[in-house]
Structure 1
Amino acid sequence: MTLRQAERRRFRFTGAANQRSVRFSQELQVVCRFDGGVVVRHQVQIQIFRARRKRFPVSVRSVLIGGARWVSAVSCPVAGARSRLCGLFLSRAHGWCVPCWAGCSGRRQAVVTRRRVPGGCHRYRQIVRCWKAFTRRCAEGSSMEQADVLIIGAGASGGVAAGALAQAGFDVLCLEQGQWPDRADYPAQRRTYELEARKQWSGSPNVRGRAADYPVNDVESDVAPLMYAGVGGSMVLYAGDWPRLLPSDFRVRSLDGVADDWPLRYGDLQPFYERTDAAFGVSGAGGDPAYPDGAEPPLPPLPIGAIGARMARAHDRLGWHWWPAAQAVLSAPHQGRRPCVQFGACMQGCPEGAKASTDLTHWPSAVAGGVRLLTGARVSRILMSGNGLATGAEFVRPDGSWHVARAEVVILAANAVGTPRILLNSSSPRYPDGLANSSGLVGRRLMVHPFANVTGYFDEDLTSWRGHVGAKIACYEFYETDTDRGFVRGAKWSLAPTGGPLDAALPSRAGNEVWGPDHHEHIRKHLGRTISWGIFGEDLPDEANRVTTDSALTDSSGIPAPKLNYTVNENSRRLLDFHVARATESLQAAGAYETAAESLMRYSGWHLLGTTRMGTDPATSVVDEYGRSHDVPNLYVMDGSVFVTSGGVNPTSTITALALRAVEHLIEHRREQRVPA
């Protein structure tokens, strides 16, 4: 078949309909890098069909959707159905002859020759050079993974989804850009752990700079995003605080006239809260008056210590709420894990394994149940079929090799920065604004919980450096809206340890003048003699706060990095000012002779939420209440991106409960699920 004949004939991948002719059809992007830094991106549709001549197993024909074309059908004598294929590419605009790799792996970067070739690809030597490059790439080959369900991200929600799918008998593949964490590497057992927390074990990927991390442009963000890449995700470095959203958090529009209501209520999620509590091994005390009645946490509360007891007595005198905080940290042995030994270094990994993270609680059993977890697999984009369904994802390995994973259902669990990054990087002529983005809301409505810290100084040694970091006790006294305060919504307070000797000595607690004649007195004042309230303020959604992609910044694989635009709004500023004043009052009631406050702390962006919000209307939301995309029926989001509002509490408990609810709905309705042919 000639190229002209091929162009006249329309091939379409429709399952069995054209199996005799078409073997594979895929839209892909070819990236050409020219001398002088010029980058040209071409969208092409490649179709692989059976050749008529016996000596060639397949032929390749592609029609370019803009500005240039593939010149002649190319037969591949060595590549199988799953191997990389290529063709000779002629750019009419630039006149270069370019070897372009395509096939199953999708996006490739083409390297062009420096010399212009008169007559384009019809020069014999250039054709031979391109053909040699082609056959070399074909010979290298490329594995193409296949599964029923593809999960992108092995963190909190990815682990929950994988475990449920494995139990239901699905063939599951998970792609994770990081590696399995090694508890022996965690710095809590080393004297330098507080120094390592500021660099190697920082929560910021920009500070940490590991190979598995991607950079984030946060220059235009008031808060720096914090996250961790690896099996277990950011749970490896989170504090373990495990509160739930309160009933009012699901009805903010109805109650306070701002933001939006969720398409579900607390009662819809409560059974899943209770089940994830059991799965993660949550410690706590039942009967908290801030919450509706329900099952008690599976384990007793952790010790609240001297600082918790002191603040509890103060709140009793003030008549304010307090309660032993629910923590995803073991107070007793549970499912083969040992209880907390009070290292006080939860946010640099728990060497004891007492703090719950899915690398301990979910992934071992999921892998034993048949789930394939591929680490060191960085996803660049979601692949689509011609009928508007997701067919899998393209990913790159640490050695620079590109691969494809095919699946009938794709689940994104990459956090509220990583998920919109992948969707926006999946743009194409059919989806110019990114995938699943007909609403224009992918990446918008970013929420991060503005954070403040109020510290009280006491005469007595309270050993306040010791204990689990999440929260000894929690306070919800000022959580609900009171319009007389001049703002809406509220905040949760968490009482946590105040750090060891190096944390007391180094900025920011010690200010900018770390050394000097008053250094030892400063340490005596801070170490073990301070109590701090951490204040998580509700962050109302704003479409101007968003995640986009930065064409000028890429990760080590050349994939465009995310860029954050985030500004703390006036409501949040007033909210934090009020809560800082009340927390100061609380500490003074406990006997503090001095207090200090840090408000709107920059490095506090752990709680990344809202960038693919759920809802019932496709015009005003990205996914439905079960995380299914309105635009792509077999594409799901099961991470913090789906939050409609942020609440004023740590979100991991809600993220995992939502993921369990969503994946079980997917399993229950699997027979109605649309999948690619």
Structure 2
Amino acid sequence: MAKVRLNVKVADALIIGAGASGMVAARHLAEAGMSVVCLEQGPRVDNGEFAGDKPEWELMSQKRWHPNPNVRDLENDYPIETSQSDVNPLMYNALGGSTILWAAHWQRFMPSDFRVRTLDGVASDWPITYEDLAPFYEQMEVEMGVSGVAGDPAYPMKTTPFPLPPLPIGKIGMKAARGMDKLGWHWWPGTNAIPTRDYEGRNACTRRGTCLTGCPEKAKASTDHTHGSVAARHGAELITGARVREITVNDQGLATGAIYVDRNGREFEQRAKVVIVCCNAVGTPRLLLNSRSSLFPNGLANSSGLVGRNLMMHPYAAVSGHFDEPLESWVGPSGQNIYSMQFYETDPSRNFVRGAKWQVMPSGGPLGLRAAYGGKALEDAWGANLHRNTARTFGRSFEWGITAEDLPEEANQVLLDSQLTDSDGVPSPRIIYRNSQNTRNMLEFHLARAKEAMDAAGAVGTSATSLMRDCGWHLMGTARMGNDPKTSVVDQWGKAHDVPNLFIYDGSVFVTSGAANPTATITAIALRAVKHLIAERRNQEVAAS
């Protein structure tokens, strides 16, 4: 093996992963005057590379900008073994992480999401409450530049205005809202991390509707812009093309840094006083399980045996409605035009617990909003029928998307595959994930209600997707937080129970998944945790440099 080169600088904090949580941590640590090194295995992507303003946009979304790394198959991706999973995990490796390709739905969790055991007798309660996170939600809405309307009765605890006015709900939002009004069901204009006017170096949204393949206008709140650029101005070193092989520890069991491989195949060791892991709920357990040593033979921070377990990915279903009038349903954003929390909470009369959040999304161009809608019968998707179906539906359709709560189950997990590796020989993750009967009952109920909503809105036809295979954007739960080291991996501040200077800030720490899009909660948790780390830095145990 080639000699590992030692980076001379010992950072106050080493962050692994430059996505939503990693960039929040980097910005605030750097602003506090701490020396920060962030290692990101993906590249720095220029907004001019995105295909959304180019004629080949929809074709590019099928490969280069596809959200599934197994389809995209870039050098900076790692392959994932998914033959035992009902859902494909989705992610993007780059400075900004998956916020490069996210739809920018901004949704807080509900207070009930933190008390599922108390309220419904299933799963576990979080060691924190909605009230603990509320001020950090507020701050993140400012930092991300969220557009929306305050006053939603589903969120009576949210009383302050959003930083920016809402995006137009468009013809599809109006059509859907009239249907909901007819049924007496809740809806509200969508909140999105997409600016309606120029905001802190980002441009106003031009409503191309290509958010899921990157924003050419530099409007959407990807954390390379909202936080990474600020972190760099304050001295943070953001190293791209750096694939971390393992986290290193000393004889006392403290983290000392990490070994990474650059794009020339050279290995480096970066040392630090504290290590913060932000690799998402697939990448984080992969790294911890790959960081075995004599002190941690089952993987780093894994005395509980829960690293990699309780994977949650929000099963996603949808009902598309077709209308006999033009709705301009290619117009963006591909964030949520309106959303509904009508069926979010548990109803004892149903044959399942918990619920789902709905969102109206546009149907996009002739090939559809995203590659996830593939798999149509050949006779429907080719030749004369393709032209006939496109003429019938193009610009005249939209979807009610259903984001279902995913209860934690230890059998749903991330393991290391015995044969599959990335391009640097690091073992890849293997996913075992099956939907429970509770999930299947939930989706069946919500699909029926969403069809009612489409019918009430005047749809002349509907089609349903009962479970989208490529829907695993929301990766949660594989290094859960808790007060008891026997039943959790980290404490409420993201500190590993087993390793006092190792922290995890990403969606891995979620105890339950809620049914709301998790990015708002991921960033609020990261902000709360990093502010605590800054405040307690003089008391923080670190390895001797």
Structure 1 residue 145, shift from structure 2 partner: 4.3
Q: CA deviation at 1:465?
A: 1.2
* Residue of structure 2 equivalent to 1:498: 363
Question: Aligned match of 2:394 in 527, 535, 538?
Answer: 527
Q: Please, which moves more after superposition, 459-468 or 498-507?
A: 498-507
The reply on whether 1:319 has 2:184 as its aligned counterpart is: yes
After superposition, the C-alpha distances for 1:44-69 in whole angstroms (9 at most, x for unaligned) are xxxxxxxxxxxxxxxxxxxxxxxxxx
Aligned equivalent of 2:311, options 441, 446, 449: 446
Aligned length: 541
Q: Identity of paired residues, percent?
A: 55
User: Is 1:365 aligned to 2:206, yes or no?
Assistant: no
Task: Return the match for 1:244 from 108, 115, 124.
Answer: 108
Asked if 1:619 is matched to 2:486, the reply is yes
Give the drift of 1:520: 2.1
List gaps (5 residues or longer) in structure 2: none
**Residue pair 1:510, 1:522 contacting (<8 A) in 2 also:** no
Structure 2 counterpart of 1:674: 541
1:465 aligns with 2:330: yes
| Alpha-carbon offset, residue 310 of structure 1 | 1.2
1:597 to 458, 464, 479: 464
The yes-or-no answer on 1:554 pairing with 2:421 is yes
Alignment deviations for residues 114-146 of structure 1 (CA, whole Å, 9 cap, x no partner): xxxxxxxxxxxxxxxxxxxxxxxxxxx654442
Letter in 1 for 2:435: V
**Are residue 489 (structure 1) and residue 349 (structure 2) matched?**
no
Q: Show the counterpart of 2:341.
A: 476
AA of the residue aligned to 2:97: G
User: Aligned with 1:379: secondary structure?
Assistant: strand
Once the two structures are TM-superposed, the CA of residue 553 in structure 1 deviates from its matched residue by 0.6
Post-superposition CA distance 1:1-55 (Å, at most 9, x none): xxxxxxxxxxxxxxxxxxxxxxxxxxxxxxxxxxxxxxxxxxxxxxxxxxxxxxx
C-alpha separation in 2, matches of 1:509 and 1:546: 27
SS at the partner of 1:586?
helix
Task: Name the counterpart of 2:98.
Answer: 234
Aligned match of 2:33: 169
1:392 equivalent in structure 2: 257
Please point out which of 644, 648, 653 is paired with 2:511: 644
Counterpart position of 1:660? 527
User: In 1, are the aligned partners of 2:65 and 2:72 still within 8 Å (CA)?
Assistant: yes
Contiguous gaps of at least 5 residues in structure 1: 1-99, 106-140
Distance 1:175 1:155 in 2: 11
Match of 1:434 in 2: 299
The counterpart of 2:277, out of the listed 403, 406, 412, is 412
- Are the counterparts in 1 of residues 61 and 370 from structure 2 also a CA contact under 8 Å? no
Quote the residue 1:633 is aligned against. Answer: 500
Query: Cα distance, 1:512 vs. partner?
Result: 2.6
SS, match of residue 336 in structure 1: coil
Q: Within 2, Cα distance between the matches of 1:358 and 1:318?
A: 39
Kindly report which structure 2 residues correspond to 1:43-192, keeping only aligned pairs within 5 A, or say none.
Answer: 105=4, 143-192=7-56
What is the deviation of 1:502?
Answer: 2.7
- The aligned amino acid for 2:198 is P
Q: Greater RCO between the two (CA within 8 Å, min separation 6)?
A: 2
Structure 2 counterpart SS, 1:174: strand
Stretch deviating more after TM superposition (336-345 or 440-449): 336-345
Note if contact 2:42-2:77 (Cα within 8 Å) is conserved in structure 1: yes
Question: d(CA) in 2 for partners of 1:521 and 1:330?
Answer: 37
Residues of 2 paired with 1:436 and 1:462: CA distance?
52
Indicate how the Cα distance of structure 1 residues 334 and 672 shifts in structure 2: closer, same or farther if over 3 A, else same: same
Compared with structure 1, are the counterparts of its residues 145 and 400 closer, same or farther at alpha carbon in structure 2 (3 Å cutoff)?
Answer: farther
Give the counterpart letter for 2:34 in structure 1: F
- 1:173-213 per-position Cα deviation (integer Å, ceiling 9, x unaligned): 00000111111110001111111111111001110011111
Q: CA deviation at 1:517?
A: 3.1
Q: 1:613 is matched by which residue type in structure 2? A: R
Q: C-alpha displacement at 1:151, in angstroms?
A: 0.3
CA RMSD of aligned residues (A): 1.3
**Contact 2:6/2:270 (8 A) holds in 1:** no
Verify the 8 A CA contact 2:105 2:335 in the aligned structure 1. Answer: yes
- CA distance in structure 2 between the aligned counterparts of 1:224 and 1:191, rounded to whole angstroms: 28
Equivalent in the alignment of 1:36: none
Describe the shift of the 1:361–1:443 C-alpha distance in structure 2 as closer, same or farther (beyond 3 A): same
Q: Which amino acid aligns with 1:443?
A: G
Helix, strand or coil for the counterpart of 1:159? helix
Q: 1:675 to 1:257 in 2, by over 3 A?
A: same
Q: TM-score when scaled to structure 2?
A: 0.97
**CA distance in 2: counterparts of 1:307 and 1:558, whole angstroms:** 48
Which residue matches 1:586?
453
What TM-score do you get using the length of structure 1 for normalisation?
0.79
- 2:431 maps to 564
Q: Measure how far apart 1:312 and its partner are.
A: 1.0
1:294 Cα deviation after fit: 2.7
Deviations 1:215-255 (A, max 9, x none): 11111111001000000000000001000101100000000
- C-alpha separation between the residues in 2 aligned to 1:667 and 1:362? 17
Measured in 2, the distance between the counterparts of 1:190 and 1:295 equals 39
Helix, strand or coil at the partner of 1:297: coil
Cα distance in 2 for partners of 1:341, 1:574 equals: 39
**How far apart are 1:454 and its partner, in Å?**
0.4
The structural deviation recorded for 1:505 is: 12
Instruction: Give the Cα separation in 2 of the matches to 1:394 and 1:433.
Output: 19
Counterparts of 2:338 and 2:375, CA distance in 1:
22
* Residues 533, 616 of structure 1: alpha-carbon distance in 2 compared, 3 angstrom cutoff: same
- Structure 1 or 2, whichever has the larger Rg, is 1
Q: Which one of the candidate residues 203, 211, 230 is aligned to 2:67?
A: 203
Whole-Å separation in 2 of the counterparts to 1:194 and 1:550: 33
Q: Is contact 2:362-2:369 (8 Å) kept?
A: no
